[in-house]
Chains A and B, each alone.
Chain A
């Protein structure tokens, strides 16, 4: 009898400890695949749809020139002119804008040590290292993709990015300093629906973090299309306006 009690106790104890272990080491979901930008659908589940950031809380010295630039762009737009921007010149978007460009998908390749994200537009590539710590801000050369490290918190991939150079245009064209830090939470919110909640903090430029969520839907079987910008006929004229180059034959 006592043997039976002992066996049951051991068995139950074993089961509990396995459960506890499973809790602390949840197998991360597999995000590998091609993901189309999901903008929500009429009548669709609002929980799957992306969310915009509210008004940008730029510090006054950055808000003024930002608003002035937006006004000039809007005026040009009314005249039927687009003022030059980087993408019209085929300069890549960088982080975080590359994560959602028009209707172009992103491909995620997940391994235990690295998550690689490829955007179809401009074939941009990000590498998120899972097996090493982040560098100090002053040790990362500013660039388009900066340096990204990540780790799993249960079912969520948390990505930390620093080192985006100030000429890389941000969310809604917002300015940023070299101290900008981007934290992303990538999580499957439903089977084949992925959210990337993006949080941007910048002690120099922002009074409050900018937070928005991008949404994606898995597209099995899709083959990424190459995108080398070798035939850009848009050019910027002497007034800074984007024009189209025409041919005569």
Chain B
């Protein structure tokens, strides 16, 4: 019984590792000008808050967001996206987000523990969920 549990765990773990490896290979081309090493690509966290700025710029777009904590306290995050060219192929526009919009972001956080990360998906005010480029499909 114990061995079966162990085996099941190993199979699941190996599968997870393969999925992670596949995800890393898939994301690699999305970042032209630097690697994703600084982000923890194995970890995803969800931020719910208010956009303070949406910068449609190169080499990356950025979302600045005030996350609302459980007690109502605010924590500010800087979130990196792909470039406008890469985002457009995933349905983004320069006007997809604006200051004051409520949004939910799923991100890969910085390994340093600072309040920054790399976008995985964003939920727009109209309910659409957009990914961070064609290589980052949810």
Cβ–Cβ contact A88 & B116, under 8 A: no
- A249-B76 contact, Cβ under 8 Å, with A80-B111, A90-B59, A103-B135: yes
Q: Which partner residue on chain A sits nearest B80 by CB separation?
A: A244
Cβ–Cβ contact A243 & B76, under 8 A: no
Mostly, the B contact residues are loop
- Complex: how many Å from CA A20 to CA B1? 81
Question: Please, what's the 1-or-0 string for A110-138, where 1 marks a CB less than 8 Å from any CB in chain B?
Answer: 00000000001100000000000000000
Cβ–Cβ contact A102 & B31, under 8 A: yes
Cβ–Cβ contact A228 & B34, under 8 A: no
- Number of contacts between A and B (CB, 8 Å)? 93
Asked if B110 is at the interface of the complex by the 8 Å CB criterion, the answer is yes
Give the segment of A143-151, A166-174, A205-213, A229-237 that binds chain B.
Answer: A229-237
Asked if A247 is at the interface of the complex by the 8 Å CB criterion, the answer is yes
Asked if A81 is at the interface of the complex by the 8 Å CB criterion, the answer is yes
Interface band, chain B: 35 or more
Q: Which of A88, A103, A230, A248 contacts B30 (CB 8 A)?
A: A103
- Complex: how many Å from CA A234 to CA B57? 13
Q: Which partner residue on chain A sits nearest B77 by CB separation?
A: A246
Question: Please, what's the 1-or-0 string for B23-63, where 1 marks a CB less than 8 Å from any CB in chain A?
Answer: 00000011111110110100000000000110101111010
How many whole Å from A77's CB to the nearest CB in chain B?
6
Cβ–Cβ contact A81 & B37, under 8 A: yes
Q: Given the complex, which residues of A lie within 8 Å of B123, measured CB to CB?
A: none
Asked if B114 is at the interface of the complex by the 8 Å CB criterion, the answer is yes
Cβ–Cβ contact B78 & A101, under 8 A: no
- The contact sample of 20 A-B pairs, CB cut-off 8 A, is A80-B38, A81-B38, A101-B32, A102-B30, A102-B86, A103-B30, A120-B85, A225-B83, A228-B58, A229-B33, A230-B57, A231-B60, A231-B62, A232-B59, A234-B33, A234-B34, A246-B78, A246-B115, A247-B78, A248-B76
User: What would 15 more interface pairs be, CB under 8 Å, given A121-B32, A121-B33?
Assistant: A82-B35, A82-B38, A85-B34, A87-B33, A90-B33, A90-B59, A121-B83, A225-B85, A231-B58, A233-B78, A234-B59, A244-B78, A244-B116, A248-B76, A249-B64
Which 7 residue pairs spanning A and B have beta carbons closest together? Answer: A231-B57, A102-B32, A225-B85, A88-B34, A246-B78, A82-B37, A87-B33
